[in-house]
Structure 1
Amino acid sequence: MPSTELLAVVERDGFTESEHRGVAVVIDPGGTVIEAHGDVDAPFLARSALKPLFAAALLDAGLVELEPAHAALASASHWADQEHLDTAQAMAERLGVDEDALHCPPMKAPDGTRRRFAHMCVGKHIALAAAARALRAPADYWADDHQLTAVLRDGVATAAGEPIVAMAHDGCGALVFPTSAVGLARAFRRLGPDGIGGSRAVGDAMRAHPTLIDGARRPDAVVIAETGCATKFGAEGTQAMVAPDGTTAVVKTADGARRAGAPVALALLERVGAIPLGTLDRLTEPLGLVQLSADVPVGRLRPVL
């Protein structure tokens, strides 16, 4: 990790039990950095936080047409709820994609079977498989040298406003590209209500279908439903969040923990006036930030930057 700062602590009965360090940045609706913590220009892997950017790139390239629920699933990291499986089935049927053609590994479905549709990244994979067919390219859409690699890389680079000169391999078998925290914030800003093209469509889909993004009562779904922000976590501690006015926050924890991302992003957006004061306090319990002794609150995760 690049140079980091203390972002949040977990407190219990006056003791600091854990500390989360990392980098964080806020940009205003025009794209200007208004607050930065740590080295926000260093590249890192945002992992699944890139999914909405991939979906937007495919839409802008004219390779797929996605109805809102399917654009949301393409941006999602779901938990195999029945809603997610049903949407994956419908999306695959609409786009003419066979479940066995997907590269994401099978995972356990609610009925106990193992299916690729139960994988949290399946929406992205369905969209990529359909896009590969539209390109008349080989079916191995996950390959390093596939034609889709350039489409996704260039789409992310354009949205982020910075060159991408490397790539890596995500846990689901697809590719992932490095961005800086500032670049990721610029890209996520395009998902706001005032965005354009594929980015606007994907952002609108995320706001319309919060439980497809992360599952009922899970952090991203809670934030989207309660604030109108479009937000997405990525493995190893990334959180990107664009407020309704276009102000955008990105958080990356050095320890890879997810739990600090949403509260730190919300605290930053509150501080700059992009969301109402008191939003984080109101969502402390739904986001699971309260530390308990049996059923008695004795502490909480608290942003400190």
Structure 2
Amino acid sequence: MPSTTLLAVVERDGFTEAEHHGVAVLVDPDGAVIEAHGDITRAFLARSSLKPLYAASLIAAGLVELQPEHAALASASHHGHHEHLETAQAMAKALGVDEHALRCPPMRDPEGVLRRFAHMCAGKHIALAAAARALGASDDYWSGDHPLTAILRDGIAVATDEAIRQSARDGCGAIVFPTTPVGLARAFRRLAPDGTGAHRLVGDAMRAHPTLIDGAGRPDAVVIAETGCATKFGAEGTQAIVAPDGTTAVVKTADGARRAGAPVALALLERAGAVPRGTLDRLAEPLGLVQRSADEPVGMLRVTV
């Protein structure tokens, strides 16, 4: 990331302990750039932040019909809690998908049993497996030359309004595509309550089921429940948040740290009036921004843009 800016610092008793550099962009409900920090036109891998856009692409293509809780799980990076496992099982049953057909590696469920349904990307993989079958294609839906790959690529390209000519392999075994921060922001704003079609359906599902997206008390679940925004983090420091009015922020940290993403995005949204003033201060504790010595506050993660 050759052109970045200082996004946030972590302070403790007057010392700066850490600095998070990266890029950030804020777009208005029409997609016009309000703020840009760093190079917002350089392509990167948004990883799991693309999941809601994948789910919308599959629905728009007529390949899957997802109940709201299943659309939320398809957009999620969960932690294998009972709620997530039960939803994954119900989703797979509804779509006729066998757990062993999933590409995502098994992880341990709350009882310590290795299950593919316990993987944080299980919902996405269930939807992809069902879509591959609907196409009448082979079951290796993760392959770069699978017909499903072109459908996902085209869906992301249309949503971002960017040409996509490359792909990479995500940690879960699925395909991931590059986007620019501004392209991702313009795509994510389609998930707003006044969006249309499959994107609005997915955004509504995320807002209705925050703990399916991340897990109780986790950052994405906190932001969704407390602000009415739809948000999704991605591995290596991506955060995308669309406010109820459609104003959208995307943050990508250069060091891959997750902790700066939501605070920076919320600060931008707050400054634009898209979320109420004081939102970031109110959520500092549940988002883990307060630095402590035992139980005494001694510092804070502070946004610098």
Unpaired runs of 5+ in structure 1?
A: none
Instruction: Tell me the secondary structure at the aligned position of residue 240 of structure 1.
Output: strand
Residue of structure 2 equivalent to 1:82: 82
For residue 253 of structure 2, what is the amino acid of its counterpart? T
Q: How many residues align?
A: 305
Question: Are 1:235 and 2:235 matched, yes or no?
Answer: yes
- Deviation, structure 1 residue 2: 3.2
Matches within 5 A, 1:175-214: 175-214=175-214
Is residue 2–residue 42 contact of structure 1 (8 Å, CA) maintained in 2? no
Unpaired runs of 5+ in structure 2?
A: none
Tell me, in whole angstroms, the C-alpha distance in 2 between the residues paired with 1:229 and 1:165: 31
- Deviation, structure 1 residue 218: 0.1
Question: Are 1:62 and 2:62 matched, yes or no?
Answer: yes
Instruction: Tell me the secondary structure at the aligned position of residue 52 of structure 1.
Output: helix
Tell me, in whole angstroms, the C-alpha distance in 2 between the residues paired with 1:3 and 1:28: 23
Tell me, in whole angstroms, the C-alpha distance in 2 between the residues paired with 1:197 and 1:236: 30
For residue 66 of structure 1, what is the amino acid of its counterpart? L
For residue 179 of structure 1, what is the amino acid of its counterpart? T
Residue of structure 1 equivalent to 2:301: 301
Question: Are 1:221 and 2:221 matched, yes or no?
Answer: yes
Residue of structure 2 equivalent to 1:129: 129
Is residue 270–residue 277 contact of structure 1 (8 Å, CA) maintained in 2? yes
Is residue 192–residue 246 contact of structure 1 (8 Å, CA) maintained in 2? yes
Q: Identity rate of aligned residues, in percent?
A: 77
Question: Deviations 1:80-114 (Å, cap 9, x if unpaired)?
Answer: 01000000000000000000000000001001100
Is residue 26–residue 34 contact of structure 1 (8 Å, CA) maintained in 2? yes
Residue of structure 2 equivalent to 1:290: 290
- What TM-score, normalized to structure 2? 1.00
Is residue 217–residue 286 contact of structure 1 (8 Å, CA) maintained in 2? yes
Instruction: Tell me the secondary structure at the aligned position of residue 191 of structure 2.
Output: coil
For residue 82 of structure 2, what is the amino acid of its counterpart? Q
Instruction: Tell me the secondary structure at the aligned position of residue 94 of structure 1.
Output: helix
- What TM-score, normalized to structure 1? 1.00
For residue 101 of structure 2, what is the amino acid of its counterpart? A
Instruction: Tell me the secondary structure at the aligned position of residue 128 of structure 1.
Output: helix
Question: Deviations 1:10-34 (Å, cap 9, x if unpaired)?
Answer: 0000110000000000000011001
Is residue 24–residue 252 contact of structure 1 (8 Å, CA) maintained in 2? yes
Instruction: Tell me the secondary structure at the aligned position of residue 246 of structure 2.
Output: coil
- Deviation, structure 1 residue 148: 0.4
- Deviation, structure 1 residue 188: 0.2
Instruction: Tell me the secondary structure at the aligned position of residue 190 of structure 1.
Output: helix
Tell me, in whole angstroms, the C-alpha distance in 2 between the residues paired with 1:54 and 1:197: 14
Tell me, in whole angstroms, the C-alpha distance in 1 between the residues paired with 2:129 and 2:54: 13
Is residue 211–residue 221 contact of structure 1 (8 Å, CA) maintained in 2? yes
Residue of structure 2 equivalent to 1:101: 101
Residue of structure 2 equivalent to 1:5: 5
Instruction: Tell me the secondary structure at the aligned position of residue 3 of structure 2.
Output: coil
Task: Name the Cα RMSD after superposition.
Answer: 0.4
Residue of structure 2 equivalent to 1:42: 42
Question: Deviations 1:175-199 (Å, cap 9, x if unpaired)?
Answer: 0000000000000000000111110
